[in-house]
Amino acid sequence: MKSKITKGKDNLITYGIVLISYVIAQILISAGQMSYLLQGLLVPICVSVILAVSLNLTVGILGELSLGHAGFMCLGAYFGAIFTHCMKDIITFSPLRFFLALLIGAVVAGFFGFLIGMPVLRLRGDYLAIVTLAFGEIIKNVANALYLGIDRNGLHISLKDSLSLNLEEDGTVIIKGAQGIISTPRDANFTIGVILILITLFIIMNLVKSRDGRAIMAIRDNRIAAESIGINITKYKLMAFSLSAALAGIAGVLYSHNISSLVATTNTFGYNMSILILVYVVLGGIGNIRGSIIAAAILTLLPEVLRFLDEQRMLIYAIVLIAMMLFRWSPQIIAWREQHSLKNLLQKFKKTTSKKEVR
């Protein structure tokens, strides 16, 4: 059994993996070796990674099952996009505008995380999963039914149709119900995406190794004991849950500023998406941040890379999912991995060389 845990260098390796992947991608692009299809996937990968890492905070670090992560992403995506549309002519410097949109997306999603968390975090296990699932669906459906326009009098909201917004002549419709938001300025790019990944990692990995992170993990490991040593359960659950929601909001803003037409469907912000994010987390290893990054990146790439297989595409995707699951969780394979891990091989190598020296 592995009894000592490694520390210190772990975080650096994680940052390193992200940075090296970024550099490799940039080299491939400038050398013209990356197809347009693949280039188009770079920002979605960043979105998936941020979502997976942030959900891991709820599922792995806090130990609560949330099935509504896509709902928080949806909030971030819509509020960020609305802000950008409103400010399109006022703030023309796009990096600043995008930064503010990110802030707004994060704050709104985080605030909703706080609101939902207040009553819901008193529930445990399956109940929390059910309520968050319902929350995600509600957000998606509201977004689908919403009409929003802007004119010189301000914002107009309607749940009927765009005519009932009663806009002045100079007004524009931002959200057109089920048609969603179209032609949001493409403020997001791969570099910003990678910076946001690094910020997310920085926040979560530093939080985990601090006083507050310890409290959160103590609650996960044993709620009763945590209470008995004076840790405020509600406060820390809310902190972790809202932070997780806020980071999902950031991922949403990144997402909405990278596509020409933002619509709320099951696959973008609904149940399917929430489950997909959970799949990243579970396959990458619950509580394992680096695993989440790798699983999210691979599983976002895979469907597109497998496109040449046409109809067999989702079949292969499912097989890869099963293979990853076995690789990650099967006891035999875990034992094999530990035996053949790089660290062990190095140690063996050191032992043999040091023996030789003694002789």
Partner 1 sequence: MALLEVTNLSISFGGLRAVEDFSVSIEKGQLYGLIGPNGAGKTTVFNLLTGVYKPDEGLIHLEGKNITNLRTIDINKEGIARTFQNIRLFKNLTVLDNVKAGLHNRYHYSAIEGILRLPRFHKTEKIMNEKAYELLKVFELEGEADYLAANLPYGKQRKLEIARALATGPRLLLLDEPAAGMNPNETKELMDTIRFVRKEFDMTILLIEHDMKLVAGICEELTVLNFGKILTSGETSEVLNDSRVITAYLGE
Of the ranges 42-50, 136-144, 208-216, 248-256, which one interacts with partner 1 (CB under 8 A)? 208-216
Asked if residue 224 binds partner 1 (CB under 8 A), the reply is yes
Contact 247, 200 (CB under 8 A): yes
Which member of 39, 232, 261, 312 binds partner 1 (CB under 8 A)? 232
Contact 278, 80 (CB under 8 A): no
Contact 56, 288 (CB under 8 A): yes
What distance in Å separates the CA atoms of residue 276 and residue 200, rounded to the nearest whole number?
19
Tell me, residue by residue from 42 to 81, as one string, x for binding to partner 1 by CB under 8 A and - for no binding: ----------------------------------------
What distance in Å separates the CA atoms of residue 57 and residue 115, rounded to the nearest whole number?
18
Which member of 161, 168, 227, 338 binds partner 1 (CB under 8 A)? 227
Q: State whether residue 236 is helix, strand or coil.
A: helix
Q: State whether residue 23 is helix, strand or coil.
A: helix
Which member of 121, 129, 146, 207 binds partner 1 (CB under 8 A)? 207
Which member of 29, 87, 145, 218 binds partner 1 (CB under 8 A)? 218
Of the ranges 122-130, 164-172, 212-220, 300-308, which one interacts with partner 1 (CB under 8 A)? 212-220
Q: Bridge partners of 268?
A: none
Asked if residue 211 binds partner 1 (CB under 8 A), the reply is yes
> C-beta of 209: minimal distance to partner 1 in Å?
8
Packing angle between helix 126-145 and helix 69-87, nearest 10 degrees?
30
Q: Bridge partners of 175?
A: 148, 181
> C-beta of 63: minimal distance to partner 1 in Å?
9
Smaller CB distance to partner 1: residue 217 or 245?
Answer: 217
Asked if residue 12 binds partner 1 (CB under 8 A), the reply is no
Main-chain dihedrals φ then ψ at residue 176, nearest 5 degrees? -110, 65
Element housing 157 (H / E): strand 154-158
Q: State whether residue 271 is helix, strand or coil.
A: helix
Which member of 221, 261, 333, 334 binds partner 1 (CB under 8 A)? 221
Smaller CB distance to partner 1: residue 4 or 340?
Answer: 4
Computed over its alpha carbons, how large is the radius of gyration of the chain?
Answer: 22
Placement of tokens 């977004």 in the chain: 143
Residues 290-309 that bind partner 1 (CB under 8 A): none
Asked if residue 7 binds partner 1 (CB under 8 A), the reply is yes
Side chain identity at 124, as an amino acid letter? R
Q: State whether residue 170 is helix, strand or coil.
A: coil
Of the ranges 64-72, 174-182, 214-222, 308-316, which one interacts with partner 1 (CB under 8 A)? 214-222
Smaller CB distance to partner 1: residue 224 or 342?
Answer: 224
Strands 172-176 and 261-262: unpaired
> C-beta of 9: minimal distance to partner 1 in Å?
14
Asked if residue 343 binds partner 1 (CB under 8 A), the reply is no
Asked if residue 206 binds partner 1 (CB under 8 A), the reply is yes
Residues that bind partner 1 (CB under 8 A): 1, 3-5, 7, 202-203, 206-207, 210-215, 217-218, 220-222, 224-233, 239, 287
